[in-house]
Amino acid sequence: MAGLQKTGFYRNAGEDVTSARCRKGFQFGFLVYLILSLQGCATMAQEEFEWRSFHGPDRTNKSTEKGLLKEWPEAGPEAAWTVSGLGEGYSSVSVAEGYLFTAGIIDKKTYVFAFDLDGKQIWKKPNGNSWETDLSWARTYTGSRSTPTYDNGVVYHLNDLGRLAAFDYKTGNEIWNMELREQFDAEIPEYGYCESVFIEGDRLYCSPAGKKGYIVCLDKNDGTTIWTNREVPGPVGFSSPVLFDHGGYRQIAGLSANSVYGVDSETGKMLWVVEFENSRSNNITDPIFQDGHVFASTGYGKGSMLIKLNVSGTDIIPETVWQTDLMDNQHGGVIFHEGYLYGSGQEERGWFCLDFMTGRQMWKASGKGSLTYADGMLYCLEERGIMTLVRASPEKYEAVSTFEVPRGGKGFHWAHPVVCGGMLYIRHMDKLFAYDIHGK
């Protein structure tokens, strides 16, 4: 009996050895099953509370988290911590493996940063020289643009002059780098490179907009070129690529300076293209795919457009469903939720809700900025630093709570907010603010 007690199993008096062994085997098997199940749940929970790239793993900019505060105290949610020393930048944050990643410019050098979830800096590594303008009116535009992308233990970052680098996520040691402009014969974009690279499997997608490749697919392990596409029209756009399945293809959609386009992610083959250009030739907002349609929006008076991707054999034939001046989104992003679009306009200034299939305006409210979504709520960051919690409903604009981000630092609040792990992260130039929004 003592021996059985040491193993944690007991045998009733009179029970034969075979029965005891069966009972022991069953209990051991159940224990293994329980451990594996818990490990699976832990993995799922970890993935749920990660935000591995700009606008999240699927680029929808929608968190799957639940149980968050539906209303904030008058002064705003609890401020958990603040970090300083990030330099100039409009990079947002990515979150993975218990780390936060962002980028900034200090003394004309680009740096990638890693912090733990308590705001302690783990590493800071250079990623080349930074972009700057000679135009006095655009000096406040200086700053990192791209948000680091995490994948399988590696952090990838594209600096504003086209240097693409891969870093070990724990140490920050550089694994490989590539000068996209040299590799693909590209000019420096008017405002520097802004996109955040997308990774799927072993493939990394980005748009150097060069003569030897407008959009390219690289091996994420060493930067080797897998394919290039030189058919995309127009100068570089400033949006980030979006991937989706439609018409028998795994497609990549993006915006150049004067078009919306789609290519085959497997081969780089051009699938479709639609003219789409504003007065400044600088499309920035990421496209949105939903139910065989692609939505595009841009500022400087152009507005928004919905394109239907008709399938005819192996061909994709684009058809414009509607076009409107409303919600001409400059660079704050647009979110699709339950049949409706949410975002802000530039010349048609204000926060908007539009019907996805018709473009009809459901409501409009004053303001302009960037946003993210979580647990039925929109987190709307006005570009002058006012954060507002808004119900994601087409019925009416309903602002539930609001607070002002601490003042300081030059320039507008253009970095997109992030909700991850029950925390709201807001970047403004040199500082990163973390707020606890767990439901109590």
pLDDT per residue as tens digits for the range 92-140: 999 999 999 999 999 999 999 999 999 999 999 999 999 877 666 666 6
Q: What integer pLDDT is reported at residue 50 of this predicted model?
A: 96
Q: How far apart are CA 251 and CA 267, in angstroms?
A: 10
Using only C-alpha atoms, the chain has a radius of gyration, in whole angstroms, of 24
Q: How far is the C-alpha of 19 from the C-alpha of 42, rounded, in Å?
A: 34
Which tokens sit at 10?
Answer: 């007991």
- Return d(Cα 69, Cα 374) in angstroms, integer: 10
Identify the domain containing residue 66 by its residue range: 49-436
- Same-domain pairing of 18 and 167: no
- Report the C-alpha gap between 288 and 180 in whole angstroms: 26
pLDDT score at 377: 98
Are residues 58 and 39 part of one domain?
A: no
Same domain, yes or no: 33 and 139: no
Residues 118 and 131 in one domain: yes
**Strand ranges inside 214-267, DSSP E:** 215-219, 225-229, 242-246, 249-255, 259-264
Q: Helix, strand or coil for residue 18?
A: helix
Q: Note the pLDDT of residue 136.
A: 63
Mean pLDDT of the chain: 90
Residue 7: what pLDDT?
Answer: 30
pLDDT at 32: 39
Structure confidence at residue 41 (pLDDT): 40
**How many structural domains compose the chain?**
2
At 276, is the secondary structure helix, strand, or coil? coil
Q: Do both 152 and 270 map to the same domain?
A: yes
- 343 shares a domain with 332: yes
Identity of residue 91: S
Same domain, 278 and 398: yes
Nearest Cα residue to 259 out of 229, 298, 216, 290: 298
Q: Do 17 and 73 have their domain in common?
A: no
Do 388 and 284 reside in the same domain of the chain?
Answer: yes
Percent with pLDDT over 90 in the chain:
82
Helix (H, G, I), strand (E, B) or coil at 43: helix
Tokens of 416: 């997109």
The pTM of the whole model exceeds 0.95: no
Please give the single-letter amino acid code of residue 124. Answer: K
Distance, CA of 103 to CA of 115 (rounded, Å): 11
The answer to whether the Cα torsion of 115, 119, 120, 126 is positive or negative is positive
The CATH number of residue 83's host domain is 2.130.10.10
Element (H, E) at 343: strand 340-345
| SS3 call for 2 | helix
100 with 176, same domain? yes
In the predicted model, is pLDDT for residue 70 greater than 80? yes
The 10s digit of each residue's pLDDT in 148-207 is: 999 999 999 999 999 999 999 999 999 999 999 999 999 998 889 999 999 999 999 999
Interstrand relation of 94-96 and 99-106 (parallel, antiparallel or unpaired): antiparallel
Q: Which pLDDT band holds residue 143 (cuts at 50, 70, 90)?
A: confident
**pLDDT higher for 47 or 326?**
326
Per residue in 280-296, pLDDT tens? 889 999 999 999 999 99
Query: What pLDDT sits at residue 138?
Result: 63
Say what the pLDDT of residue 139 is. Answer: 64
Flag whether pLDDT at 2 surpasses 70: no
Beta pairing partners, 388: 380, 402
pLDDT at site 3: 35
CA distance 421 to 436: 9
pLDDT digits (tens, 9 = 90+) for 231-263: 999 898 899 999 999 999 999 999 999 999 999
The answer to whether residues 161 and 173 belong to one domain is yes
Give the three-class secondary structure for 164. Answer: strand
Using a pLDDT cut of 70, give the percent of the chain over it. 87
Q: Which comes out higher in pLDDT, residue 8 or 146? A: 146
pLDDT digits (tens, 9 = 90+) for 415-437: 999 999 999 999 999 999 999 99
C-alpha atoms less than 13 angstroms from C-alpha of 333 in its C-beta half-sphere? 27
In contact, 98 and 109? CB cutoff 8 Å: no
Alpha carbons 394 and 387: distance in angstroms, whole number: 20
Q: Both 133 and 25 in a single domain?
A: no
User: Is-contact 436 78, C-beta < 8 A?
Assistant: yes
Q: Say what the pLDDT of residue 140 is.
A: 67
How many whole angstroms from its chain centre is CA 183?
Answer: 26
